[in-house]
């Protein structure tokens, strides 16, 4: 039996020809029919968006962990300066708020697991997303 001629068996639309000037403009473009090409491009974009959402969620989680660790370290060292502790609670509350918002953007709505797993104190939960009037003006 003779060797199989691959190009003869695959339709020219899919396989492309070596003398086709458009052949090398896109890697693998000649292997994908047009209708499937647009879907693969949107799939790639969707994948990139999902990667960025996951990355942002990770950054927000690490920021929350760091803020809570600073608050716990302050409490453990018994540095009972009210203003410093109030500032740490405010920072942890903002980090918690950012993390919860990012989770909701990713479609993860229930925050009870976050409060439990990160051991978020009730005062930080109550401070989540709340700013003083001076802080609101500074943010605008």
**Threshold 0.75, pTM exceeds:** no
- ∠ Cα 126 105 100 (to 5°): 20
Closest to 102 measured CA to CA, from 36, 49, 33, 53: 53
69-100: pLDDT as tens digits:
999 999 888 766 788 889 999 999 999 999 99
- One-character DSSP codes across 43-82: HHHHHHHHHHHHHHHHHHHHHHHHHHHHHHHHHHTT---H
Which residues, in sequence order, are CB contacts of 133 under 8 Å at separation 6+?
A: none
**Domain residues of the chain, as ranges?**
45-139
What's the whole-number mean pLDDT along residues 22-44?
59
């Amino acid at each position: 039996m003779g060797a199989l001629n691959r190009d003869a068996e695959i339709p020219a639309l899919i396989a492309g020809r070596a003398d086709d000037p458009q052949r090398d403009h896109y890697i693998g473009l000649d292997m994908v029919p047009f209708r499937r090409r647009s879907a693969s491009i949107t799939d790639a974009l969707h994948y990139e968006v999902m990667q960025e959402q996951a990355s942002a969620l990770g950054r927000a989680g690490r920021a929350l962990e760091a803020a809570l660790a600073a608050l716990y370290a302050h409490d453990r060292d018994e540095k009972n300066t009210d203003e410093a502790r109030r500032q740490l609670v405010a920072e942890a509350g903002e980090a918690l708020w950012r993390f919860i918002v990012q989770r909701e953007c990713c479609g993860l709505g229930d925050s009870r697991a976050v409060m439990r797993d990160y051991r978020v104190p009730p005062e930080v939960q109550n401070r989540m997303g709340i700013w003083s009037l001076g802080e609101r003006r500074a943010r605008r």
